[in-house]
Amino acid sequence: MKNIPVTASPIDVKAGCDEPNPSLLTVQQVHQQLAQLAKPVTGIERVAIRSALDRVLAEDIISPINVPSFANSAMDGYALNFSDLKSDADIKLNVIGSSFAGGSFDGKVQLGQCVRIMTGAQIPDGTDTVIMQEQITRDGDVITVGQGHCAGQNVRHPGEDMQQGSVVLTIGKTIGAAELGLLASLGYPEVNIRRKLRVAFFSTGDELRSVGEPLEQGQIYDSNRYTIFGMLKKMDVELIDMGVIRDDEQAIETAFKNAADIADAVITSGGVSVGEADYVKLVLDKIGKVDFWRVAMKPGKPLALGKINNALFFGLPGNPVSVMATFYLFALPALRHMMGQAYQQPLTAKAITKSTIKKRPGRTDYQRGIATHEDGKLMVDASGIQASHILSGMSQANCFAVIPQDSGSIAAGEEVDVILFDGLM
Ligand code: AMP
Ligand code: MG
């Protein structure tokens, strides 16, 4: 981490000291740090293509064939030789046979002749153009074709989709439904993918109880382990749920060491805000290389990032909304990069605000928003309760409305960037 130029310095918390006031790290600087820290796992598995769904390719896929492999019809109609047609008169042609998908018409079509053809069927020898059946009239074995057609229309050519020998998928591509279909269309039964990422996660805090346990005075249920579980589950990683760890130096050290031994990435929540960082920071200084930051964002200001041995460490804040926001904005791109994808920040779209968004300059604001389509325009309403402990707001939202660091309030009717939740949340 030391070779990355950042203007802010990590917070050096000493037990008992007042909170220092270091400059804040920008969101962009966090991404720069993560793009350096996160390294793709090297292990490769060879699996049947269906098992590769949601995983990342570890090889380039080269097309062994042309797709389509033969010229075929895009329509149900009649295959003919374009030179038969006239620009100023209708013509009549004899139907001499048919070509169905999966079969073929044997023989050569001569001038003055045509062949009945179905979508996907081979273009018969001697023809180069298909006229849709709706555009002719047929009387017995004779069709009448009008004017205004184009040479080669409705013919799909060999290699038009994918050419034999060309790279059609590259290393780092995530296999989705389209890629599964594409691999199948090339006849690939198996592919090489990166091995599954192992992610350990736990919560820290003496106040936390797990569901099923009774709550005593001052205690709350641990919800972060459930939101983190939910988001990780949809990423198709191997989950290692290590439960709740007490605010106790020995317990924290043991948990961190165990997690780093078995996982590629360790995600914790809580215990990284300055007032509370004592044990977590003490332990991480001893066993890892982790920096504690205050990020110029809202929610999600405190954040610890670094390495424990080879494992990437994310110390997310404790507040439930901050956890989801920092996971989505930072952990997600970093983990996806470790899975083998290129590092990519969340994509944004422009939306028009439906009401005033209050803000002071200084931090990038990720307001919980509800995006809708109205009269063909993307609108966003971010007027709900925005505090970082209000998890119900996260449940109502379907996007973050992003208000830049230096911006003040945004008036209704102005444009803002939105990050639409892509199904993880
Ligand atoms: P901390 O950063 O540990 O001081 O936590 C900040 C706030 O988040 C406190 O109100 C904690 O009680 C709350 N919090 C921390 N961890 C969790 C958790 N796992 N589930 C729900 N709330 C939590
Ligand atoms: Mg805590």
The CATH 3.90.105.10 domain(s) of the chain lie at 44-67+160-194
Residue-wise pLDDT for 193-243, tens only, equals: 999 999 999 999 999 999 999 999 999 999 999 999 999 999 989 999 999
Residue whose structure tokens are 């983190």: 228
Give the Å distance between the CA of 349 and the centre of ligand 1: 31
Whether residue 12 has pLDDT greater than 80: no
CATH level 2 (architecture), domain 10-43+196-336: 3-Layer(aba) Sandwich (3.40)
Q: Which of 27, 28, 22 is nearest to 9 (CA)?
A: 22
Let me know: does 255 contact 315? Beta carbons within 8 Å. no
Tokens of 4: 């990355």
The region of weakest confidence among 74-88, 213-227, 278-292 is: 278-292
Topology of domain 349-420, CATH: Beta-clip (2.40.340)
Find the 272 Cα to ligand 1 centroid distance in Å: 10
Whole-number pLDDT of residue 17: 39
List pLDDT tens digits, range 304-320.
999 999 999 999 999 99
Does residue 19 surpass a pLDDT of 70?
A: no
Phi then psi for residue 164, to 5 deg, are: -50, 130
Taking residues 96-120, report their average pLDDT. Answer: 96
Instruction: Give the number of the ligand closest to the Cα of residue 246.
Output: 2
Both tokens of 139, joined, read: 């009387």
- Output the pLDDT for position 14: 44
How much distance in Å is there from the Cα of 201 to the middle of ligand 1? 15
Q: What pLDDT shows up at residue 311?
A: 98
Class of residue 108 by CB neighbours under 10 A (exposed 0-12, middle 13-18, buried 19+)? exposed
User: Of ligand 1's atoms, which has the minimum distance to the CA of residue 273?
Assistant: 2
Residue whose C-alpha is closest to residue 354's, from 311, 401, 298, 318: 401
CATH class of domain segment(s) 72-156: mainly beta
DSSP secondary-structure letter at 327?
I
* Residues of each domain in the chain carrying CATH 3.40.980.10: 10-43+196-336
Atom of ligand 1 nearest to the CA of 204: 16
Residue range(s) in the chain whose domain bears CATH number 2.170.190.11: 72-156
- CA atoms of 86 and 134, how far apart (whole Å): 19
How many angstroms separate the alpha carbon of residue 223 from the centre of ligand 1? 9
Q: Where in the chain is the domain with CATH 2.40.340.10?
A: 349-420
**Ligand 1 pocket by C-beta < 6 Å: which residues?**
203, 205, 207-208, 220, 222-225, 269-271, 273, 276, 317-320
Please give the structure tokens belonging to residue 207.
């106040």
| CATH architecture of the domain formed by 44-67+160-194 | Alpha-Beta Complex (3.90)
Please, which pLDDT band fits residue 2 given cuts at 50, 70 and 90? very low
Looking at all shown ligands, the one closest to residue 318's CA atom is 1
pLDDT for position 275:
67
216: which 2 tokens? 């005593």
Which residues have a beta carbon within 5 Å of ligand 2, which is an ion?
Answer: 205, 270-271, 318
pLDDT > 60? residue 276: no
Distance 162 CA to ligand 2 centre (A): 54
Nearest CA to ligand 1 atom 15: 318
Q: What is the pTM of this model?
A: 0.90
